[in-house]
Structure 1
């Protein structure tokens, strides 16, 4: 079982929260231990439960996410919630939480708390979990759709999606970005239940040895990745990596998809582009990093090599990243982009309409 960063954070929060029972915390640890690759029989010993109990909670988590770790009471009346509130929750689920919440994604509890507070209609996180299950929504796995305020959003989407779906003949399309402040963490073994220090409320100790920044460029056509780890993320470092990324394609037209950071538009970068007219930049809309295919690859390397790795130094972390890139390129897999620009823009218009309706309903 592999966990996303959000899932990992949510489960670890359950293990330390004073608002949930110790039983729920133990169930969360079961899932975390299983994600670390521990055998189920060992997990049963660590958690002080039977092997079937381990299977039970792993199964419930796989089906319902964190909501499945909360035991439901049999019987009892079904919550009566109006159609307006149901629509309200469904629309909110499909967008990024409002900025004032400070949330990066919805959980069943944060959704229930937010809707109860803003609408005055009390709903439980169990009801939210059932609604999400009924409509096949899993925001903890797939994320939400973030709206961009870029006035050139439509034009940029059409430009970049056009490169993905119908690249210019014989041209190379590179998806480029940087993953910053990757930590070299030295993880100790989790504490056994009998040794668990409830005053500390933790299951791991961490020793941080520093960070590195990963520049990476994905060849959209072949799936090959060029990467480089650097101590500083600045204009000179970006330009040096850009030259490295385009070097294998000398003499060809090269289209680079990237975001419009200040380090990507320094005078030195602009001068280099002027001297290399075969290289063309295509900037993603503001707040729309999901449009850059390298972000998908960053997610993969994070899950498979970085998040639960143990690195005694930054040098060990860098060697691990380089080894992963070398291994990836032995059998590169290009990502298949399927959504057209019209489909994306239609989804944006629908989301904007839903938000306007929510605002109108809440101001009545």
Structure 2
């Protein structure tokens, strides 16, 4: 992707994607002990809450800073709110948003919204090539920081975990570089010369 290696002058490249749904889980309280010292057996009752939460994320690859937002749905209205957050966070220059070709990203209402915000330009990645979006790599780090091993009682806790993990990851952010660096060259220890 040429936008990653040679972005236009004065432009900001942001990789955007949605993560989710993150679903709150409820567990019953642990069974206690009876007065005579026997464990009270309780039927296991595990359920997933009805509220799903989606996490919208945008990675600014020039400095590695992330903008996240939680929403109760993945639709055009919330995507436009997220684009507005991206525009507010990048007050100058054009903004190139690298994203997948999801229906909410390319809907009529989103295209109409983009006409009144000419600084934002969409760059759609090919279908089936999600690995081209650098946001996917950031999601992997985010899952470890915010979601791994956690049980959330509701969307408010998911939002709090998202904000906390984003601020912690932004505190140690570095520019994201497309591709791998060249492997180090190793000098041979000894050279043998064979004469025949």
TM-score grouping bracket, smaller chain normalisation: 0.7 to 0.9
Structure 2 partner of 1:208: 48
Kindly indicate which of the two structures has a greater share of residues assigned to strand. Answer: 2
Q: Gaps spanning 5+ residues in structure 2: where? A: 30-43, 181-196
Give the C-alpha shift of residue 316 in structure 1: 1.2
Structure 2 partner of 1:274: 115
* Gap change, CA 1:223 and 1:187, over 3 Å in 2: farther
Pick from 37, 61, 66 the counterpart of residue 220 of structure 1: 61
* Gap change, CA 1:307 and 1:207, over 3 Å in 2: farther
Residues 183-194 of structure 1: pairs in structure 2 closer than 5 A: 183-186=23-26
Pick from 159, 167, 179 the counterpart of residue 338 of structure 1: 179
Structure 2 partner of 1:136: none
* Gap change, CA 1:332 and 1:292, over 3 Å in 2: same
Task: Provide, for residues 201-248 of structure 1, a one-character-per-residue CA deviation record: whole Å limited to 9, x for no partner.
Answer: xxx985423320011101011111111111011111111111111212
Alpha-carbon distance in 1 for matches of 2:74, 2:19: 10
Alpha-carbon distance in 2 for matches of 1:304, 1:248: 23
4+ runs of 1 displaced by more than 6 Å? none
Give the C-alpha shift of residue 317 in structure 1: 1.8
Task: Provide, for residues 148-180 of structure 1, a one-character-per-residue CA deviation record: whole Å limited to 9, x for no partner.
Answer: xxxxxxxxxxxxx10111111221000001112
Alpha-carbon distance in 2 for matches of 1:264, 1:230: 15
What CA RMSD, in Å, does the superposition of the two structures yield over aligned residues? 2.6
Q: How many residues align?
A: 169
Alpha-carbon distance in 1 for matches of 2:77, 2:21: 17
Kindly indicate which of the two structures has a greater share of residues assigned to helix. Answer: 1
Structure 2 partner of 1:257: 98
Alpha-carbon distance in 2 for matches of 1:224, 1:166: 18
Q: Gaps spanning 5+ residues in structure 1: where? A: 1-160, 190-203, 340-364
TM-score by length of 1: 0.43
Alpha-carbon distance in 1 for matches of 2:176, 2:149: 24
